[in-house]
């Protein structure tokens, strides 16, 4: 009886950990958004982009990484994924549609995502 109870408890803990994590699809989207946000921050000359959006881009990158670490994604795995996305989007022009989609992703995938981004923006300088 004790073994069955322990097995059920162990199973519940494992399944709740998996649910709390980030799916592979969400990780890929988070990495893509990090790459897009970094490209926004380092726009090539001639691109117009409001400074407040640069701040929001950097804050969003920080929030995504912080959340990834909170849910148990290793820093190395996270950084490797972000580096690939940064390489992909480096030098890209500002894409309002992709950027807005990333804002929506953070708001839906990260608990209190919008508030967390606003809070980080306030601490950047």
In a domain, 9, yes or no: no
How many CB atoms sit inside 10 A of residue 61's CB? 23
* 23 HSE (CA, 13 A, CB side): 4
| Contacts of the segment 94-98: beta carbons below 8 A, 24+ positions apart | 94/40, 94/43, 94/47, 94/48, 94/49, 95/36, 98/36
Sole residue written with tokens 């990260």: 110
3-state SS, residue 71:
coil
Position 68 confidence tier, pLDDT thresholds 50, 70, 90: very high
- pLDDT given at position 98: 95
pLDDT of 12 above 50: no
Position 86 confidence tier, pLDDT thresholds 50, 70, 90: very high
In a domain, 13, yes or no: no
- pLDDT given at position 48: 66
In a domain, 93, yes or no: yes
pLDDT in tens, 15-63: 333 445 789 999 999 999 999 999 988 876 666 667 778 899 999 999 9
Number of domains, the chain: 1
Position 14 confidence tier, pLDDT thresholds 50, 70, 90: very low
85: containing domain: 22-123
pLDDT in tens, 98-121: 999 999 999 999 999 999 999 999
63-96 burial string, b = 16+ CB within 10 Å, else e?
bbbebbeeeebeeeebeebbeebbeebeebebee
- pLDDT given at position 44: 65
Who has greater pLDDT, 9 or 89? 89
Contact 57, 37 (CB under 8 A): yes
In a domain, 26, yes or no: yes
């Amino acid at each position: 009886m004790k073994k069955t109870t322990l097995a059920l408890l162990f199973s519940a803990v494992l399944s709740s950990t998996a649910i709390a994590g980030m799916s592979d699809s969400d990780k890929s989207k988070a990495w893509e958004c990090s790459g897009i946000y970094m490209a926004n921050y380092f726009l090539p000359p001639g691109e117009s982009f409001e400074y407040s959006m640069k701040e929001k881009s950097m804050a969003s990158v920080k929030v995504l990484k912080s959340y990834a670490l909170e849910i148990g994604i290793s820093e190395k795995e996270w950084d490797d994924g972000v580096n690939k996305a940064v390489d992909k989007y480096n030098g890209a022009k500002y894409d309002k549609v992709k950027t807005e989609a990333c804002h929506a992703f953070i708001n839906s995938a990260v608990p209190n995502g919008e508030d967390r981004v606003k809070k980080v923006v306030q601490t950047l300088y």
